[in-house]
Every structure is written in C-alpha cells, then in structure tokens.
Amino acid sequence: MILPIFLMFSFLLSSSSCNALDFCVADLKTPQGLAGYSCKKLELVTVDDFIFSGLHAGNTSNLIKAAVTPAFTAQFPGVNGLGISIARLDLAVGGVVPMHTHPDSSEIIIVIQGIIDAGFVSSANKVYFKTLKTGDIMVFPQGLLHFQINAGTTPALAYVSFSSPSPGVQILDFALFGNDLPSNIIEETTFLDDAQVKKLKGVLGGT
C-alpha cells in the first residue's frame, strides 16, 4: 500500500516540477548546450521574444537552387524548450534539398505553392516517396534520410515544422564531399572512382 502511494506522490512532484516554468526564452548570450540555451531573466522577456517576422522568401541563386529560412531558437528565442520550430522552404525551378537528416527532430512539410517530390528512406532501406501538390502534408520521422525536389515548372514554396526548437541538420552530399575526408576513404566506402570523387569535391568545396 505504501509503495503505490509513494509512486503516485513522486509522479505528482515530477509533474509539478515540469510545469514550474511557463516558458524558457533563450538567452542567446549564453552558450548552447545539449539541453538548449539558458533561460533569459523573466524581467527581460518581452512579447517580441514570442514573435518572428523573418519568414521571407530566401535567395535560391545557389548550387541547389533552394533556400531554407529557419525560425529556430537562434532566430526565434521564444521556442526554446518548447519542442517546436518552423522554417520556410523556397525551391526555384530545378531546385532540390539533397538527402539530409535532422538528428534531433521529426519534420512535417506543407506545400503552399507548386509541386514537390519528397520522400525518406527507412532504416530498413525502404523508400517512401510521393509527389506533393498544394495543400499536401508529409511527415519525415526523426533521424531518417529525406529530400525535397521541385517537380514543377514554377517556383515552389513550403513551410516545414519540427518537433525540436533546434532540429540540427546534416546534408549527406556535403558530409561526404564538402570537407577534408581523404578521397581514398570516400572511394572505398562509396564504391565511386577517383575521378567522380574529385569532381564532387570540387563542386561541393571539399579538399
């Protein structure tokens, strides 16, 4: 009889401690740790910490013809600790967001304009792929490789939400070819020949 009462009391204590703070606006002057940023002093918090007005069209004049405009903790301190964030995705004609992962977040995309091919690869290497049209929504589970491609003849626009205020990102192409990883290691692990590896390193800024 004592044990169930103790467990219930412990649960109530833990629940109340989780709700001790209404929010934890990020103090961007402090270092970011694994748990996020430290909380800004309550007397310094204003309504502007909970508003973000920067989801404007991004510059797609780049190699991938795409732009991601984030509203993560670093840009939007009010989402710190809330388990949510959002970004705008602009894809010019021919634009692509290459295979990438978000190690700390699942993702949902909603297409606002245009046609987008999107998909992800499960840990069993099964591909889940669909052509999305205006109003369509797709979810990408946390940590899995996924991509988006403008499949239409006009620019595409989408909004992307995340289950983390700082979802993190690793783009596969840049992880392989955009750094100083020796070419022979890449060739052995990807089965690409030397000419292909050097070409991709040249395109993506690797050495």
Q: Is 100 annotated as a binding residue?
A: yes
Is 56 labelled as part of a ligand binding site?
no
171-204 in b/e burial notation, b at 16+ Cβ within 10 A?
bebeebbbeebebeebbeeeebeeeebbebbeeb
User: DSSP label at 26?
Assistant: B
What stretch of H or E contains 123? Answer: none
Half-sphere exposure of 185 (CA within 13 A, CB side): 9
10 Å CB burial of residue 95 (0-12, 13-18, 19+) is buried
Instruction: Find, among 20, 36, 42, 31, the residue nearest to 84 by Cα.
Output: 36
Residue 107 annotated in ligand binding: yes
Identify the residue whose tokens are 């602009």: 90
Give ∠ CA 183-187-193 in degrees, rounded to 5: 100
Supply 3's token pair.
């044990």
Residue numbering of the annotated binding site for oxalate:
102, 107
Residue numbering of the annotated binding site for Mn(2+):
100, 102, 107, 146
Residue numbering of the annotated binding site:
100, 102, 107, 146
